[in-house]
Amino acid sequence: MASSKRKVATMKELSDTIGISRPTLSRYFQDPALVRPATSQKIQRLLETVDYVPNFFATRMNRKATGMIGVIIPYLNDLFFTKLLEAIEIAAMEAGYTVITQCSHSDPRIEARAVETFMSMSVDGALVAPLGNQSDQAAHQRLQSQLPYVLVDSRPATMPDVDFVGTDHAQSTGLITEYLCRLGRPPVFLAMPRVNFNAVERERAYVKTVTDLGFEPEVIGTEALEPEWHYEAHGEAVIDHHFARGEYLDRSILCANDRVAIGALRAAARHGVKPGGQSEGGLRIAGHDDYPLCPFTYPALTTVAQDFEAIGKKSVFRLLQLISSKGEPQKPEVTLLPGALKLRESA
């Protein structure tokens, strides 16, 4: 049914209709606590008599602080970033902030445009999960000069002077590498093409751990078989290639991330080999991240979990510290959070 309330389009029209001054209405929509309780209650009653939706951005642009945080993520189709964004949004909302999200779609030009968008919106600060060393450095430098911002998840070597919150890949990858070494021969590392900063960090951690334990590291899958095969398809194709030649059928395989591992599991299934279950030796497949689908693969994927909630909370907390410092110079903080083993059927 159509509403019988009078439709009001602008703040001026609202002021004329309900008899409350525009400055008072503006303060009310910014925060009802900014006007007297009696006036706030009166405005609430009068708003029930009209059909009016306040302009979200207009009520913020006149403030010294907009109450908005910008977030840039590299992929929309990755459940890792879905979980991370969820943690960020919850932490921001609890602090009274609204999150505006942009996706760079793995394109430095789109990432740079997202940076410009946030600056034009006068967000109070930004959290960025960067593309890596291929990010547009000029765009990041411009963002850093204009707004408080914190890197999340990935810390390119080209951005050493920016606050960062992420996983301690030396600890997390070392943890699962040591575990696999205890089960038999040292694992082979199924890497990725050099498009993912964290995957490279994990590869280095694997090489160091295996070497420190007195073994010879083996790394496969560093070259792209197809330009867009970075995750599941890459893992499947690399393992299919080696299994077809009778290689690594009785080895532990540590994958750069869970999505690569899911592809490796599919290749194993096609070759009629089920990972896990052996008391010693035999095929095992493990990943990194604790992707939300890991418990539901077949077999369920052993991995090392990143603490999504802690990363989200800490990144928002640090950004709010920078916002409250009001431009005072701050020494960049690097927060590395430990991973935790998730032992399941695959290893």
User: Of the segments 44-53, 64-73, 159-168, 272-281, which one has the largest average pLDDT value?
Assistant: 159-168
pLDDT class of 36 with cuts at 50, 70, 90: confident
pLDDT class of 91 with cuts at 50, 70, 90: very high
Question: Are 180 and 186 spatial neighbours (Cβ–Cβ below 8 Å)?
Answer: yes
Angle at 216 (CA atoms; ends 210, 218), nearest 5 degrees: 90
Confidence check: pLDDT of 124 > 60: yes
What is the rounded distance in angstroms from the CA atom of residue 252 to the CA atom of residue 283? 5
pLDDT, position 50: 83
When pLDDT is averaged across residues 187-202 and rounded to a whole number, the result is: 89
What is the rounded distance in angstroms from the CA atom of residue 22 to the CA atom of residue 26? 6
Confidence check: pLDDT of 206 > 70: yes
Average confidence score pLDDT of the chain: 90
pLDDT, position 64: 66
Stretch among 23-37, 48-62, 293-307 having the lowest mean pLDDT: 48-62
pLDDT, position 210: 98
pLDDT, position 57: 62
Confidence check: pLDDT of 110 > 70: yes
Stretch among 75-84, 91-100, 129-138 having the lowest mean pLDDT: 129-138
pLDDT class of 224 with cuts at 50, 70, 90: confident
Percent of the chain with pLDDT over 70: 95
pLDDT, position 99: 95
pLDDT, position 228: 73
When pLDDT is averaged across residues 55-84 and rounded to a whole number, the result is: 80
User: Where along the chain do its domains lie?
Assistant: 6-61, 68-167+309-338, 169-305
pLDDT class of 27 with cuts at 50, 70, 90: confident
pLDDT, position 19: 86
The pair of three-digit structure tokens given for residue 132, joined into one six-digit string? 């890596």
What is the Cα 199 distance to its own chain's centre? 15
Adjacent-strand bridge partners of 303: 342
Please state the pTM of the whole predicted model: 0.81
User: 303-305 and 340-342: which strand pairing?
Assistant: antiparallel
pLDDT, position 44: 85
When pLDDT is averaged across residues 119-128 and rounded to a whole number, the result is: 92
When pLDDT is averaged across residues 111-140 and rounded to a whole number, the result is: 90
Confidence check: pLDDT of 95 > 90: yes
pLDDT, position 56: 62
pLDDT class of 6 with cuts at 50, 70, 90: confident
Question: Are 43 and 25 spatial neighbours (Cβ–Cβ below 8 Å)?
Answer: yes
What is the rounded distance in angstroms from the CA atom of residue 347 to the CA atom of residue 344? 6
Question: Are 258 and 285 spatial neighbours (Cβ–Cβ below 8 Å)?
Answer: no
pLDDT, position 279: 66
Domains 68-167+309-338 and 169-305 share a fold: yes
User: Helices 258-270 & 232-244, crossing angle to 10 degrees?
Assistant: 40
Q: List the one residue out of 246, 195, 242 whose CA is nearest residue 220.
A: 242
What is the Cα 11 distance to its own chain's centre? 38
When pLDDT is averaged across residues 20-34 and rounded to a whole number, the result is: 78
Which CATH code is given to the segment(s) 68-167+309-338?
3.40.50.2300
pLDDT in tens, 227-276: 777 799 999 999 999 999 999 999 999 999 999 999 999 999 999 999 99
Q: Which CATH class name applies to 169-305? A: alpha beta
Burial status of residue 333 (CB atoms within 10 A of its CB: 0-12, 13-18, 19 or more):
middle
User: Helices 308-324 & 79-94, crossing angle to 10 degrees?
Assistant: 40
